[in-house]
Amino acid sequence: MASPGSTPPVDSPLAKPQSTSSPLANLQGTPAAHHFPASLRLGPAVAASVRPLSASGSRAPDAVLSKPSGGGGKKSDESDVLSLDSIRRTLIQLEDTIIFNLLERSQFSYNPAAYDRNASGIAGFNGSLIEYLIQGTEKLHAMVGRYKSPDEHPFFPEKLLEPVLPSVQYKNVLHHAAASINVNKQIWDVYFDDLLPRLVGEGSDGNCGSSACCDATILQALSKRIHYGMFVAEAKFRESPDKYSAAIKAKDEDKLMEMLTYKEVEESVKRRVRFKALTFGRVVGSDASPMADPPLKMEPDLVVELYDKWLMPLTKEVEVHYLLRRLDN
Cβ atoms < 10 Å from Cβ of 100: 15
Q: pLDDT of 274-292, one tens digit each?
A: 999 999 998 888 887 767 7
pLDDT at 78 over 80: no
Contact present, 117 and 16 (Cβ < 8 Å):
no
Q: pLDDT of 101-115, one tens digit each?
A: 999 999 999 999 999
Mean pLDDT of 194-219: 97
C-alpha distance from residue 44 to each of 79, 83, 181, 239, 326 (Å): 28, 28, 8, 29, 17
User: Mapped to the 3 state alphabet, what secondary structure does the chain carry?
Assistant: CCCCCCCCCCCCCCECCCCCCCCCCCCCCCCCCCCCECCCCCCCCCCCCEEECCCCCCCCCCEEECCCCCCCCCCCCHHHHCCHHHHHHHHHHHHHHHHHHHHHHHCCCCCHHHHCCCCCCCCCCCCCHHHHHHHHHHHHHHHCCHHHCCCCCCCCHHHCCCCCCCEEEEEECCCHHHHHCCCHHHHHHHHHHHHHHHHCCCCCCCCHHHHHHHHHHHHHHHHHHHHCHHHHHHHHHHHCHHHHHHHHHCCCHHHHHHHHCCHHHHHHHHHHHHHHHHHHCECCCCCCCCCCCCCECCCHHHHHHHHHHHHHHHHHHHHHHHHHCCCCC
Question: In which band, very low, low, confident or very high, does the pLDDT at 170 lie, cut at 50, 70 and 90?
Answer: low
C-alpha distance from residue 8 to each of 125, 126, 156, 185 (Å): 9, 8, 15, 20
Cβ atoms < 10 Å from Cβ of 218: 22
Domains, the chain, in order of start with CATH, read 50-324 (1.10.590.10)
List the single range of 69-73, 84-88, 310-314 with lowest mean pLDDT.
69-73
Residue type, 94: L
- Bridge partners for 266 per DSSP: none
How confident is the model at residue 130, as a pLDDT? 97
Question: In which band, very low, low, confident or very high, does the pLDDT at 168 lie, cut at 50, 70 and 90?
Answer: low
pLDDT at 251 over 60: yes
pLDDT at 217 over 90: yes
Cα separation, 65 vs 59, in Å, equals 9
pLDDT at 49 over 50: no
| pTM attached to this predicted model | 0.77
Query: Would you give the end-to-end CA distance of the chain in angstroms?
Result: 39
* Mean confidence (pLDDT) of the chain: 81
Rounding to the nearest 10 degrees, give the CA dihedral for residues 164, 166, 168, 173. Answer: 10
Where b means 16+ CB within 10 Å and e means fewer, 30-40 reads ebbbbbbbbeb
Q: Which of 93, 57, 63, 88 is nearest to 75 (CA)?
A: 63
How confident is the model at residue 64, as a pLDDT? 44
Contact present, 142 and 149 (Cβ < 8 Å):
no
Q: Which of 29, 307, 41 is nearest to 188 (CA)?
A: 41
